[in-house]
Amino acid sequence: MEYLVVLEKSDTGFGAYLPDLPGCIAVAGTLEETKELITEAVNLHIERMREMGLPAASCSSLRFVFEMEPDIDQGDTFSAIGTKSL
């Protein structure tokens, strides 16, 4: 089963969460550490769900990348150049 992990950069580091596993989050100073911590958090979350006799959460998140590039003629606005599935 695959789950979408959202990684976000902040002023102090990175955060990660899974839309399909509410409460399963991680924050750290580096991207690599955040990835390690969210992996550990997912494993613990799923392990705890199993211990409680709960079914695994299904993945309902859809994902795509919306690519944009600066539109030089329009100053600092952007023009969409397409999407692609991950």
CB of 45 closer than 8 Å to CB of 21: yes
pTM for this structure? 0.72
Do the domain assignments include residue 39?
yes
Q: Could you report the per-residue pLDDT of 37-78, keeping only the tens digit for each?
A: 999 999 999 999 999 999 988 888 777 666 666 555 555 555
Do the domain assignments include residue 68?
no
Distance of CA 44 to the CA centre of its chain: 17
Residue with tokens 């550990």: 40
Q: In what order do the strands lie in the sheet with 25-28?
A: 6-9, 14-17, 25-28
User: Which CATH number belongs to the domain containing residue 55 in this structure?
Assistant: 3.30.160.250
pLDDT at residue 28 above 80? yes
Count of the separate structural domains present in the chain? 1
Q: How many CA atoms lie within 13 A of 58 on its CB side?
A: 1
Do the domain assignments include residue 50?
yes
Do the domain assignments include residue 78?
no
Do the domain assignments include residue 81?
no
Q: What token pair was written down for 60?
A: 């309902």
Domain interval for residue 27? 6-61
The mean pLDDT value for 20-47 works out to 95
Do the domain assignments include residue 86?
no
- Which residue type does 82 have? G
